Structure 1
Amino acid sequence: MIDDTLNSDAADLDPSWVADVVRRTLDEDLGGFPGRDVTTFPTIAPDAVATAHLVARADGVVAGLAVVPEAVAQVADRFGLPPVDVRLVARDGDRVAAGSVLAELRGPTRVLLVAERSLLNLASRASGVATATRRWADALEGTGTTVLDTRKTTPGLRVLEKYAVRCGGGTNKRMGLHDVAMVKDNHVVAAGSVTAAVAAVRAGYPDVLVQVEADTVDQAVEAVGAGARFLLLDNMGPAALAAAVVAVRALEPTVGRVELEATGNLTLDVAAQVAAAGVDYMSVGALTHSAPILDLALDLLPGD
């Protein structure tokens, strides 16, 4: 079962989390708090004012735009400068073309230049994940199969990257080791069997959802018999995947609905074929671990 509360329209970025990640990102760039910019400070007068556009340099889907006003607000506060006026032109989840203006900013030039790289790093990363996810969501449209993310995220940015997956039309799986039990191959080896591993999890944490990774049809059937109602069908070829789906679906009149996920080495060119096997989900680690950034830039307007 997937936690739908993570994927609802209300599941936006937590402002306190955004503030914290921006603070840490600025500290990294400025060398601590309040820090310094040894290029901008001597070259830009404190009272200089400019207008800037946040621009997409490539086609894609945007996400994480909340970091833009947060970054300039924190920089202004750090250095006692007036606030920047930010007008967001695009919204998270929007498809944009190269050259599109995503936001307009006007305020102290020092603030704009100090905040530039920090806000770009975060928004470009999130937008890259959203763009990669959108390709999968488009490929699976109409199949009845949904693309899921994984825990293969950038350390410290999981909240942002999983939010970006939602912006791109994907669905979040578990957030971490704490909210859903996932019995994988190493757990089975350590426990002795799928049945033993599932029983141990249920005894230790009876209130959590249990998912089981199955490498074979026999393991899938065993997992259902052990009480699992969500299976990861891992690295199965087309014939084995189809056989596993048929075997599990045949059990459903007795055990009830079982959700099935295909996982392992999935690519866009086989997405429709895998979906046709009858799985509910495909989990794709590449959404987060391999998505290139969406190239964004902050351009000062001339003659201001």
Structure 2
Amino acid sequence: MSTAEPDNALTLPDDITETVATALAEDIGDGDRNAVVVDEDSAATARVVAREACVLAGAAWFEAVFTQLDDRCRVTWHYHDGDSLKPDTIICEVRGPARSLLTGERTALNFLQLLSGVASDTRRFVDRVKGTRVRILDTRKTLPGLRSAQKYAVRCGGGINHRFGLFDGILIKENHIAAAGSIANAVSRAREAHPELMLQVEVENLNELDEALAADADSVLLDNFPSHILSRAVNKCRRHLLPNRRSVISEASGDISLRNIRDYADTEVDRISIGGLTKNVTATDFSMRLQMD
């Protein structure tokens, strides 16, 4: 049985149909040459098993593979995205034409193993910082074409999403600063063009932090700060009040792992962003076993 109800934070992205269609076209091309091993009118039931402990993510993509192949396919789920699974757990059954089940198997499992891998890794980081104020964030370091899916998987693991892309938030990084001439110039120009957007500045030392605070950045990304220096930076952010009387949001990044993340979280930084959640993905092991009806 399911161990959790779907959460409102797990709102599905609106590009699942297109993403799945692209993946199926990539795999099938002009036809599945393997499917002829079973009769066209044969029906089957397949069980999908999680072979290792994980956090489930990707059910909608998995299901869309089979419904796009054949609307007679039906998936019965025993768990929800975001649920923690033990090894050898049966997560669902798929019933339908045997040829469709065989054709969709690899593509469906690819989505499930990738997204569950992202969710599982995220959950490990979230669990490691329990009891602190910090929230775990993703970044734009995603697999091309799968950003919305991977960011959804991060939410399944208990993380939160940073900006989706270049259009819905401003992050001024070292190359922007070099091009604009200074942090102050970069912030001023960005504010003038897009006053409605959250503006964050990446800084690499306390002097740059002072410049970003003086420019009234909404948030600072404290990149590769040792934890003892990060504590000083976080205190500076808390003391600096923006025109709306709120303190600057502090975010740490760079060379943060499960081994050292607790040290960073204990500085009381607001957020920690980890590119590896979506960039260095270890797929979860799932299998699908077919039985003819």
Q: TM-score, normalised by structure 2?
A: 0.94
Letter in 1 for 2:121: A
Separation in structure 1 between the aligned mates of residue 273 and residue 115 of structure 2, nearest angstrom: 18
Letter in 2 for 1:37: D
Instruction: Tell whether the 8 Å contact from 1:57 to 1:297 is kept in structure 2 after alignment.
Output: yes
Q: How does 1:101-140 map to 2 (within 5 A)?
A: 101-140=90-129
1:263 to 247, 253, 278: 253
Q: Which residue of 1 aligns with 2:191?
A: 202
Instruction: Tell whether the 8 Å contact from 1:217 to 1:247 is kept in structure 2 after alignment.
Output: no
Instruction: Tell whether the 8 Å contact from 1:130 to 1:167 is kept in structure 2 after alignment.
Output: yes
Q: How does 1:1-304 map to 2 (within 5 A)?
A: 9=8, 11-14=10-13, 16-31=14-29, 35-40=30-35, 42-76=36-70, 83-252=72-241, 256-301=246-291, 304=293
Separation in structure 2 between the aligned mates of residue 249 and residue 217 of structure 1, nearest angstrom: 14
Count, aligned residues: 286
RMSD over aligned Cα, in angstroms?
1.5
Separation in structure 1 between the aligned mates of residue 26 and residue 92 of structure 2, nearest angstrom: 24
Deviations 1:10-64 (A, max 9, x none): 55113x5111111111000011xxx311111x21101111110111011100101
Deviation at 1:269, TM superposition (A): 1.2
Give structure 1 stretches of 5+ with no counterpart. Answer: 1-7, 78-82
Letter in 1 for 2:107: S
SS of 1:207's partner is coil
Deviation at 1:238, TM superposition (A): 2.0
Task: Flag the 1:85–1:256 CA change in 2: closer, same or farther, 3 A.
Answer: closer
SS of 2:225's partner is coil
Deviation at 1:67, TM superposition (A): 1.7
Q: TM-score, normalised by structure 1?
A: 0.90
Give structure 2 stretches of 5+ with no counterpart. Answer: 1-6
Separation in structure 1 between the aligned mates of residue 209 and residue 44 of structure 2, nearest angstrom: 61
Deviations 1:194-239 (A, max 9, x none): 1111001011222211001111112112111101021100011122
SS of 1:175's partner is coil
Separation in structure 1 between the aligned mates of residue 212 and residue 181 of structure 2, nearest angstrom: 13
Separation in structure 2 between the aligned mates of residue 191 and residue 184 of structure 1, nearest angstrom: 11
Q: Percent identity?
A: 39
Instruction: Tell whether the 8 Å contact from 2:57 to 2:156 is kept in structure 1 after alignment.
Output: yes
Instruction: Tell whether the 8 Å contact from 1:221 to 1:248 is kept in structure 2 after alignment.
Output: no
SS of 1:257's partner is coil
